[in-house]
Structure 1
């Protein structure tokens, strides 16, 4: 995990407005959300595992499933997940069990972040600052 200091940290926004601005640019709400916190993830690469820019947020007012929820952004950071290979080889499962077993556990959830993508992450944060703070 590589933190990237940013002026967006601590800023409060409507979650709806953030989604309108960020989703068209390739950001998704990460799967690790709860009713009081979550994150926007931007996939930088999936060459060896997955490399993301993650922008965490916490609820200021309401819950994430509320239309009028406001959130405070945390410090963006770069994150790398290396997934186990070969888990799906020669597996025959029915639709029912596939609905529970569709994702593999990370082999290394805190894998080293490839240096060639660090500048990309910093540029993405600068872009976020332009989009959200101007």
Structure 2
């Protein structure tokens, strides 16, 4: 995990506004959310490992299962997950094999992030700031 400084930290927004701004850019709300916190994930690459820019958020008014919830953004970070090689490539068992392997646990859920992805992450954070911060920031 590589934390990235950002001007979006501690900013508060309605969650639906963030979704409208970020989903068209490829961000998804990660499946590991609960009623109080969650993550916007942007997949950067999947060569050798899955690399993501992750933007955590916390409910400050309401809960995440409540329409109109307001959230506070936290420090973005880069994350790398290494998976067992070969599972995604093995087509011998087709859809049945894929149905089970899509939920496999990473062999290394906190793999090292190479320097080139850190630079990409910094650029993505800058774009994130441009998307959601008022233009006078």
> Normalized against structure 1, the TM-score is what?
0.89
CA RMSD of aligned residues (A): 2.2
For the 8 Å contact 2:87–2:101, the answer to whether it is kept is no
Deviation at 1:65, TM superposition (A): 1.4
List gaps (5 residues or longer) in structure 2.
Answer: none
What is the SS of the residue equivalent to 1:54?
A: strand
Distance in 2, matches of 1:57 and 1:91, equals 40
- Structure 2 equivalent of residue 113 of structure 1: 113
Deviation at 1:91, TM superposition (A): 8.2
**Pair 1:51-2:51 in alignment:** yes
- Structure 1 equivalent of residue 15 of structure 2: 15
User: What's the CA shift string for 1:29-78, capped at 9, x where partnerless?
Assistant: 01111111000000110011100000000100111111110000010000
- Structure 2 equivalent of residue 127 of structure 1: 127
- Structure 1 equivalent of residue 38 of structure 2: 38
> Normalized against structure 2, the TM-score is what?
0.87
List gaps (5 residues or longer) in structure 1.
Answer: none
Deviation at 1:85, TM superposition (A): 2.1
Distance in 1, matches of 2:25 and 2:86, equals 32
- Structure having the higher strand fraction is 1
- Structure 2 equivalent of residue 66 of structure 1: 66
Tell me how many residue pairs correspond in the alignment.
Answer: 133
